[in-house]
């Protein structure tokens, strides 16, 4: 297994629209495992392949505290949505930034698993929110796109400043995040 590099906003590669997965071979299985390892290490609760510069429609999610409930969604399609939920979202590609986004609180999804087997599932709560956030990634969209131009510009400047500070003092250990990004 291997840790993959997570692209950060405003990297233009995050704007790529991912293609459907058609081959479910051993290499694809390794990609799924590497994405879980990368997400757990970050740490985060969801990761889309777009974020590791692989432009295939693959999402991994684990919202459990014990980090032992793996969800894999390949070629996900939302079949229905209902309700609304406002959640303070974060994103591994927008480190340290959290803001409120409104999404559906319940979704029905059709997807394939890591072996290519199709399934349908009803999701609610943070799992439903997380899936919608990750599907946005596959379409080249980020949660900051829902915020005002002014906020997005502030975020871009802050991330730029943080990257420069990290480059100047690379030895400083990262503090444990208070909130877990999607
Ligand atoms: Ni994200």
Q: How many angstroms is it from 117 CA to the middle of ligand 1?
A: 25
Please state, in angstroms and rounded to a whole number, the distance separating the CA atoms of residues 138 and 141.
7
Contact (CB, 8 A) for 44 and 92: yes
Q: How many angstroms is it from 89 CA to the middle of ligand 1?
A: 8
Which of 69, 118, 134, 153 does the annotation list as catalytic? 134
Q: How many angstroms is it from 157 CA to the middle of ligand 1?
A: 19
Please state, in angstroms and rounded to a whole number, the distance separating the CA atoms of residues 14 and 10.
8
Q: How many angstroms is it from 163 CA to the middle of ligand 1?
A: 18
Of 58, 50, 71, residue with least CA distance to 24: 58
Between these two residues, 17 and 173, which has the higher pLDDT value? 17
Q: What is the strand order of the sheet 106-112 is part of? A: 46-48, 58-61, 71-82, 106-112, 118-124
Q: Is 134 a catalytic residue?
A: yes
Residue 125 zone, left/alpha/beta (φ > 0; ψ -120 to 50; rest):
left
Tens digits of per-residue pLDDT, 124-180? 999 999 999 999 999 999 999 999 999 999 999 999 999 999 899 866 566 566 787
Contact (CB, 8 A) for 45 and 68: no
The token duo for 25 is 């071979």
Contact (CB, 8 A) for 115 and 108: no
Please state, in angstroms and rounded to a whole number, the distance separating the CA atoms of residues 170 and 164.
10
pLDDT at 180: 76
Mean pLDDT of 76-104: 97
Q: How many angstroms is it from 26 CA to the middle of ligand 1?
A: 26
The token duo for 131 is 């899936």
pLDDT at 1: 81
For residue 96, pLDDT over 80 is answered with: yes
Confidence band for 181, pLDDT divided at 50, 70 and 90: confident
Across 148-160, b (16+ Cβ under 10 Å) vs e yields eeeebeebeeebe
What's this model's pTM, rounded to 2 decimal places? 0.93
Contact (CB, 8 A) for 132 and 59: no
């Amino acid at each position: 297994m291997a840790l993959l590099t997570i692209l950060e906003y405003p990297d233009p590669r995050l704007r790529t629209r991912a293609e459907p997965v058609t081959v479910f071979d051993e290499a694809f299985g390794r990609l799924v495992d590497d994405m879980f390892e990368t997400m757990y290490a970050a740490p985060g609760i969801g990761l889309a392949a777009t974020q590791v510069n692989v432009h295939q429609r693959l999402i991994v999610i684990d919202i459990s505290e014990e980090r032992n409930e793996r969800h894999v969604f390949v070629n996900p399609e939302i079949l229905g949505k209902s309700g609304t939920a406002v959640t303070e979202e974060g994103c591994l590609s927008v480190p340290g930034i959290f803001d409120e986004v409104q999404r559906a609180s319940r979704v029905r999804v059709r997807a394939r698993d890591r072996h290519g087997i199709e399934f349908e599932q009803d999701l609610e709560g943070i799992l439903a929110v997380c899936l919608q956030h990750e599907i946005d990634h596959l379409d080249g969209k980020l949660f900051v796109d829902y915020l005002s131009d002014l906020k997005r510009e502030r975020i871009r400047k802050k991330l730029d400043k943080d990257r420069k500070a990290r480059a100047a003092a690379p030895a400083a250990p990262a503090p444990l995040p208070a909130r877990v990004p999607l």
